[in-house]
Each structure stands twice: as C-alpha cells, then as structure tokens.
A and B are shown apart, each in its own frame.
Chain A
Amino acid sequence: MLVSLKTVRQFVNLDGLSAEDIANGLTFAGIEVEEVVTLASGTNLVIGHILECVAHPDSDHLHVLKVDLGPKYGIQQIVCGAPNAREGLKVIVANIGAKLPGGEIKASKIRGVESNGMCCSLLELGVDAKNLRKEQTEGIEELPADAEVGNEDVLGYLGLDDQVLNLKVLANRPDLLSLYNVAREIGAIFDREVKIPTYEVKNTFTTDLKVGSETDKCTQFSGREIKNIKIKESPKYMKEALLAMGVRSINNIVDIGNYVMLLTGQPLHMYDKDKLEKAELIAKSDFSCDFVALDEQTYKVIPGDIVISSNNEAMCLGGVMGANKCAVDENTKNIYIEAASFDGASIRHTSNRLGLSSESSQRFVKGTNHYQSEAVINFASNLIKELCEGEQFSNIVVYQSEKKPESTLKCRFSHINNRLGTDFSNKEIIDVLNRLYFKAEQLGEDEFVVNIPEFRLDVTCEADISEEVIRILGFKHVKSELPALDTKVGGLTLSQSRLRKIRDYLLLNGLDECLTYSLLSKENATKFNLLHDEDKYELLNPLTDEREVFRTHILFSLLESALYNYNRQNKDLALFETSNMMSKTSRSEHLSIVLLGNKLERDMMKKTPYDFFDMKGLVEGLFSLLGVEASRYKFERYSSEKEELHPGKSAKILFQNQVIGVFGELHPIALQALGLNKTNCVVLEMNIDPLLNAKVTLAKMNPISKFPSVSRDLAMLVDKKIPASDIIKLIKVSGKGLVKDARIFDVYEGEGIVKNLKSIAVNIVIAKEGTLTDKEITDLMDKIKYDLAKSFKVELRM
C-alpha cells in the first residue's frame, strides 16, 4: 500500500514528524514500511523565464542564458548545457546555495563565463527516471507557458512535494488498505489528533433502481443513481494523489472511484445507467457465460464467480472487472454507483483463474469493512457534485443480509499483563486502546470492556487486545526472563542420538555430508531407486516437471551431486546424506553413500580405486558402531533386471532377515549413461530405521583364557564359485570347541592357478581351557582338512 504523506496529512496532524519518524513508528507498531520514497527534493528553487539564449564563445554545446527570476532574484546569467535551452522557455532554476540531490549549487565561471545558478531537469531534482519521458531525462524541464515567474514553491507547483510510504500490509490488517485507517493508526502511535471528514449528499429524487443478492457470496449491496454528470479531467490535487499512490488518472469519474477506494478501502463500481436495459443490479453466483470485460477481452464465467446482473445479463464480474457493455465513457451522463461486500475467497478464485487482479479485487480478497457503504457513497457523491457537476442524487438503496456482529469484548487487565510479561497500569491500557478507537471502559477492579471498531476485522479475542496494547506501547516494556520450568531429562532420544552417531562416524571416515532436494522428476524418482520404488506422492501443482514427485530414495540426488563435482574436476569423492523418506505407505530414515574414483587420502602416492569392499566395510562398521552383533545381519547377492548395479559386485543387506539396504559397484551401462565410464563408483541406499531402533543388549564380560592359543594357517585351492564364508563356516563347525576364530588372509586367482579355481588362505586360532598338545592340534587340523576336502573338493596346499 502506497501512502502519500501529503494526502494523509489532511487527516492527521503530522507536524514535527519526518517521513522517517513516521516510517519507524509504523514499523515498530507492526506495520512494516518497506520504503520511503521522496518524489523530488531541492531548496532555493524558483521558476524562471529565458529571455536570451546565445552560444558560449568557448564551447560548441554550452549556452549562455539571461534568465528572469522575478522581482526577488532579478535577471541572472546562467551557463547551461541542455540541448533544449532556448529563448522564451519557462524553466526550473536552482539558485546559488540550492541543495539538490546531487550537491550544492555555487556561483562559478564556466570556461570563463560567469554562471549564477543552474537550469534543472526533473532528474536533477531526484525524480525516478522510470516516471519520466525520455525527453525529460535528456534536457531541462520545459514548464508550461503560464508558469508564474518568480514562484519559489516549485515542487508544490509540480506536485512533487510529497513523500510516499510503501507499507507492507499483512494479512490480518486489510483495514490498512485505506488511507483513513492509516491516518488513524499514525494518530494512535504518535497520540495525534485525527480528523476523518464525513459527508452527506441529500437525495433529490427517488430512484427506481433495485439492488439485491441471490448469493451468500454477496452480503451487502448499496447503490445510488446520479444524473447529469460531466466527464472531464480530474483536478491537479487528485491526479497528484493518485499518481503518488500508484494509480493512473483516467477521468474525473474513474478517478473519484479510485480516490474514494484508496481513502476508505471500499471499492466502488460505476455503471452507465443508460446502457442498462433494466433498473436493477442483482448479485448472483450461478452464471455460466462469456463475459466481455472493460479491457475488451472475453472471459469465461463459471458458477461460483460473483456476477452483478441486470436483466439476467452479466454487467460486472463482482469485485474484479466491469462489463464493456455498460462502461462509463466520455459521453456518459447518468450513472449507478455500487458499493458492495463480496466474499474474499470467491473473488480470489475468480481473480486467480482469470489472471485478473486489481486494487479492488485485492481489497475484497483481504477483507473489507461491510458497514460503511452509505458513508462511502456519500463521500463519492460529494466529489461527483464538486468535480463532475453532478446535480441530481437519488436515495441510496441498500441490500444487507447480515447483522452487524456483537463488537464488545470483556477483558482482564491481569490477563493482558500476564500474557505480555509486563506491568502496565490500568490507565495505560485503557488509554492506548482508546487511541486505537476501541472505546475501552473499566468495569470492575480487573475487568474492562472494549468496542471493536468495525474496520478492525482482525480483533476477536483477549489475546488480540494484548497485541494492540504491546504493539503501541512497545516490546521494550517486556521483562526478559527465562521460564522457570520443571527440571527434566530432555536430550535426544536413543534413535536421534544414534543418527547423530552414524553421521559422525561417516564424517570421521572422511565422507562429506550433503543436502539435496526432495522433489524429483517422475523419471528420476525411479532411477537407482534400489529399495522402495513404489507408492510415491506426486504433486498436483508442480512448478516444473523436474520437481514433481516426492522422492523415496536419496541415491539419485546424491549421484547428481557427485556428477556436479566430477564435472568440476573433483573426481575423487565420498558423499553421504541421511534424510527422511515418505511414500504413501511408509516413512523411514534413509542413508545413501556414493564413493567415486580413488580413495580419499591426504597423499597421492598410491591411488586405490574404491570398490565393493570399501562400502561393505562402512556398512559393517555401522553395525559395529551401534553394537549390533554380526550374527544379526548378513549380506546376500543382489540381483535386478535393471542394469544399475554390477550383478557380480552388489549385495543386499539383511537385518533380522529383512532387506534394509542395497549396495554395490555401478553397472558399466549405468556408468556409461552417467558419463562416468572413465571412473568407478560404489553406491549404497539403506533404510536405517531398523538400526536406529534396534534393541542392543549389554554384553556380559567373557572371561579371558589364561592358556595361550595356537595359530595355524591353511591354504587350499577351491572352485571359484564357493563363497569364502562357507569355508569359514565349515572350519568353525568342523573344529567346534577348539577353533576360536578363522579368518581369510589371502585370496588369489589368475596366473599360476588353474582356471575356475581360486587359492584361499585361512588363519585358524585354536585354544582350550588347558594346554594344547601337539597331537590335539594335528588331529584337529587333519579333521578340518578332511571335512573341507569332502565338502568342497579342495586341494590343500599346505
């Protein structure tokens, strides 16, 4: 909302307050002033008349002028470089000592010729170039021939002696879309006198206009007929006020409509009476038709749109735009004037659907005062009388379907102070509310009553009253005090702290923690979706098709981040993200990891490409971090028809026999598709909810044996396809009781080994509660070797 201070000053005493004072006052009362615009500035200005214009003897573009500045300043010589300077022109002159936005004007010699002042362009007075025509920015301002020479109120003459506040009107204060209410607000903040004029234009005849509403979307409709008006240009004050508040001047009748709306907040609509076939205006919301609006465009009207009809034909799209058919034009003589109340939600739907938004529709959408239409019509009538030579005014016909609601509210002083943490006196509270037109009155010791002004649509309860008090008296009165609350344990829950632990673990392992968007394109939402590629939420109103599905996996997004870096020459990456995933059927915390290129080392002496086992190690580390024993999870080969993971180098993670994750090296086809064919990439997607919530029992101490253990190595050749874990398992079963541990320490296949075989070396730790004899050891090893040979057809190498 743009507020012209020159206009608002007519209604509230602003003496001694600068625009900045007012802006600060409003801002700290909850009405943010986003900007203070000074239309123009300059001191020591005067209107001059160029009597003589000759070329500067020493320049090809400067002129030497003799300018008549009126009796006070006489005739002065001024050197001027403007191309449009010429004899006979009336101009703005900045005298010696004048302070302009660009600096102070001093007497000087320009290339040897004395100059006592400067002829100005509006640009030099600080007028925003966007409000000027091109020629106005290229030369000095050309004033009309009748401009009075010697007039020192140049800015006033130009209508540029105004400052404009740009208010950010929040949704709860639509009343501030009225200059009158802004004046009231300023009056309350600075405790100044406010005078809002009221007018009454008596009716001279009785109209046969019928008004009404057949829809609950229009609760109030008032109209008046006015005869014999003259359409012409608006007076200067009105044009200037409208311009300052961002509205273009059209003609007196349109301008009056806008001016009254800006001042009162009530949108008006004017109909050319003679273009209507029937003397009726009825609000309806069941029309379905084509509608040719004032802008000569055709719009589709559908049921739900508020239509003002006459003779069952749409004459106005209520609150949005009038019909071309009955528009006021330069020949209009007789009019109907409308002041109505429409349902904001309907106006919003219509206005959004048709892409039509105006000062009027915005006011209806935000909410208007339903009980001032007669006063507003009288105000407009008064202006029509003055400016349009309107002579005959009818009675005001009114349709009103709702009663004025109860507007009194009982409040307690103690309640207000308790909510605010203040100790305002009863008098302070009563006074401040009265400044805000709440007509507060003390009832009992702790009780008072307020009358909510009809324009304050936002105030309905005691809490609202507390806000009125504090925003005017100021938050500086609030005592800052920490709440005295019961002591309690607080802190993170077990699963919250486990998530932190997991993130810290990955950071300590050198992985970078990423953040990516939750919305993906339909296509991308299924790519690399290894766990939950179903039941995804889709947006009804996406901004772009790049972001229309709520993701159920992180991996695609993390791969995108990896690519972003890879394409910027950061080719060795270890990235992770944890994030909450939601689908129509589930909600869970996911972890995704991407390892790309070579292992991150501080040195670059050896380059080890990331592989399957780096990821597997991280996963095993996660389980161990949270104290989950190896027996509770396992890895199984992953297979999928999608060519996303390498079929031989990928695995599922099973925790308590549920698949909770998938990881592996990318499929060569996937690498190719991503443009990563020159490197290698290992990825993981894992639902970590089961881990975050896993029950972990405290380990009881196991006594450590006093007897030394014995270590034996076993190497064998076996079929390539036999999993190492099977061999370990067999050794442990075979040597049950004595074998305490068995671990693979070497695997080799290739040169020197028969095709389809691999060489595996295992270290076996043997111990018992007692001293082991050589025989016991030899017997045990023989048994293991026998069992291995029997089960796997192994060829033992030592």
Chain B
Amino acid sequence: MKNETVIEILEEANTEIASASTSERLQELKIKFLAKKSVLMSLMSELGKLPPEERKSFGQMLNETRTKISALIEQKETEIRKQELQKKLEREEIDITLPGRNADVGGQNPFYVVKDEITDIFLNMGFEVADGPEVETDLFNFELLNIPKDHPARDMQDTFYISDNVLLRTHTSPVQAHTMQVAGGKPIRIICPGKTYRRDDDDATHSHQFAQIEGLVIDKNINIGHLKATLELFAKKMFGEKREIRLRPSYFPFTEPSVEVDITCANCDGKGCSMCKGTGYIEILGGGMVHPNVLKMNGYDPEVYSGFAFGIGIERVAILRYGIDDIRKFYQNDVRFLHQYRKKA
C-alpha cells in the first residue's frame, strides 16, 4: 500500500516536472515533492514507526525516489535555465547594421599625403630631410644660386619682397646653399619639402603659394645618369612600376646641364591622350647637374665634387595623381575634399 503510494508520487512528480515550463513552477514542485511537509518527506519521518524488516527496504525505496525526483528537478532546472537564457539572448538581439562609435580617422589634405609619400621614398633611398626658412635673403634665394642682381632669370620668378634684400623664397633651392654651407665640403644627400611663394594671381592653375621638394646630392663623380636613375626610381614608386621617364634639356641658372623630366602618361600608358596632349608624356619636375659656380660659391671645389639637384612640385604631383582640377582646392580645406584622402598604409 505504502509502496504504491510512493510509486504514485514518483509518477506524479515525473509528469508534473516534465510539464513544468518555468523556474517558478519548478520551485513549487520542489516544495510539493521534496519539502518537509511533502508526502514523501512525511513518509520518511514516519519510517521509524515501521517494523524493522520493512523499514530498511521502504526506507531505501523512499530515498531512491527522493533522489530520482531531485535529479528530475535538477535536470529540468538546467533545461529551463537554458531555455530562459536563450529567450533572454533573443530579446537582447541588436541591429548590428547600426554604426559603431568613435570618429573615423581624419581626412588628410592630399598635399600632405603626397608630401609624406615623396619624402618617404627618398628617405628609403638614404636621403635626409633638410629645412630652410621661408623668409629668405636675396643672397640665398638668388645670388648663391648663380642668379646675380639683374640676371634675366629673375624675371622668370616674380618675387614678393619684404625689403630690398629680404624676400619670400621663390623656390626651395636656397636650401641647397644652406645645406652646402653647413656641410662644409662633405658629401650631401638631402631633400627639402617646403612652401614657396611667387607673385602670381591665384586661378585654377596658378597660386601665389605652392610647395616644392628640393633634392640635392653632392659627392665625387656624380653624373646625369645618377640623376636619371634616382628620378626613375622615384617615378616608379610614386606613379607605378610601368612609368618611364624622359629627360629634356631646359634651363635653370643653378644647374648645368638642366633638364625637365617627363614621365609616361599614366592615363594612356604613353600612347597619347587628352591628358598628355597626345604626347604620351607629362612634365613632372626639373633638375640638373649643380652649376660649378654654385658649388664654388658654397664651398665645394667643382674639380673634385659634382652633384645633381631637382625640384618637384608637390601640388603638381597631387594634381596629376588624383586628377584635381583646381590648385585652389588645396587651400580651401573643404572637408568633403579632405575626406577623400587618407594616408597609404
């Protein structure tokens, strides 16, 4: 009789636990079946009243039943917790298409992208970066570069003057003279990026302020072939491995011979298009062999030392590379423009 009751309890517990779906309900069932006042526990407390021969086997049965129910509840508990966690996680689902926090990396005026990149190319070739003042003396901007007073070449560069002998540098070339004077006869390998000024009205292709990167190498036995190879390497790194360069004779008072350097047009690969006006080439920079007078005036013996120099227009390179149609855009800093450019990794 008692045995049957226990079996019934187990069956009942089995059914009810199986049908429980919340942890609250399970808690109720735990009380109902396993609390002190539950049928099972009251039977347990009455064990002592049973005859000893029955006591052992019935006690064992009660214990087993309690263990079974406990296990059932525990099992169910795990199950429910898992379900509840699952539901909680489902409720917590977010819209992962919403944007992340924090600002994007800042945009960079393409001027700096190009300036830093050119600088890095030459740094990797073992050049150092030299520096010079933007407010210059006539001596450094002109005279020490073989452009004496009233030299016709001064007409090529309309100059902003501060006084008769002080001016805004019209090119970065004065840094050549500064560097030579400081180096005192030792070999030189420098570039100098910097701002320059000319008395030009601003329009789409002219700017009273622009920037150049000056390059200067002085050593024994330097020749034009070295200039050509150096600039070839630069052109390939800057504009792509397929670019070729071409030298054309030109004139700068501080180099002799002087050259203009053209690269094959990136737009048409040298076949000729509207960008290169059908020539297949685009002019990117000027250079040449340092004039013996310049070496002499700045403390180098032109019989022993020779050197090459070049000047690259930073905006010009950026204009060619990015197809920028108006040089004034560099100085407006429209953020819609800046955000198109980021430093290359």
Contact = CB atoms under 8 A, between A and B. Distances in A.
Contacts of A475: 224, 228, 246-249, 259
A478 B225 contact: yes
A344 interface: yes
Interface residues of A, number: 88
Interface residues of B, number: 84
Contact of B189 (A462, A471, A490): A490
Contact of B334 (A419, A488, A568): A568
Interface string A473-495: 00100111111011110111100
A461 B128 CA distance: 31
Contacts of A540: 161-163
Interface string B213-230: 000010101111110111
A64 B293 CA distance: 74
B162 A537 contact: yes
A521 to B, nearest CB: 14
B209 A519 contact: yes
Interface in A508-554: 508-519, 537-543, 547, 550
Contacts of B291: 463
Given A518-B209, A603-B101, A463 B289 contact: yes
Given A509-B103, A599-B103, A515 B109 contact: yes
B333 A483 contact: no
A173 interface: yes
A174 interface: yes
B173 to A, nearest CB: 15
Contacts of A367: 152
B53 interface: no
Contacts of A744: none
Contact of A30 (B106, B133, B225, B250): B250
Nearest to B200: A543
Contact of A478 (B149, B163, B224): B224
Contact of A547 (B116, B208, B219, B259): B208
Q: Chain A at the B interface: mostly helix, strand, loop or mixed?
A: loop
A507 B108 contact: yes
Contact of B161 (A517, A541, A573): A541
Contact of B225 (A481, A514, A538): A481
A570 B161 contact: no
Contacts of A582: 133-135
A296 B133 CA distance: 48
A693 interface: no
B140 interface: no
B106 A482 contact: no
Contacts of A516: 331, 333
Interface stretch (B21-29, B174-182, B335-343): B335-343
Contacts of A27: 248
A369 interface: no
Given A463-B289, A512-B107, A602 B101 contact: yes
Interface of B: 98-109, 111-112, 116, 123, 126-129, 133-135, 149-153, 155-156, 160-163, 166, 168, 187, 189, 195, 197, 199, 201, 208-209, 217, 219, 221-226, 228-230, 232-233, 246-251, 253, 256-259, 289, 291-293, 302, 306, 330-336, 338-339, 343
16 contacts: A171-B151, A171-B253, A470-B224, A478-B247, A483-B219, A483-B222, A485-B187, A491-B128, A503-B112, A512-B333, A514-B338, A537-B166, A561-B332, A576-B106, A601-B103, A602-B102
Interface of A: 27-30, 32, 170-174, 344-345, 348, 365-367, 418-422, 461-464, 466-467, 470-471, 475, 478-483, 485-488, 490-493, 496, 500, 503-504, 506-519, 537-543, 547, 550, 561, 564-565, 568, 570, 573-576, 580, 582, 587, 599-603
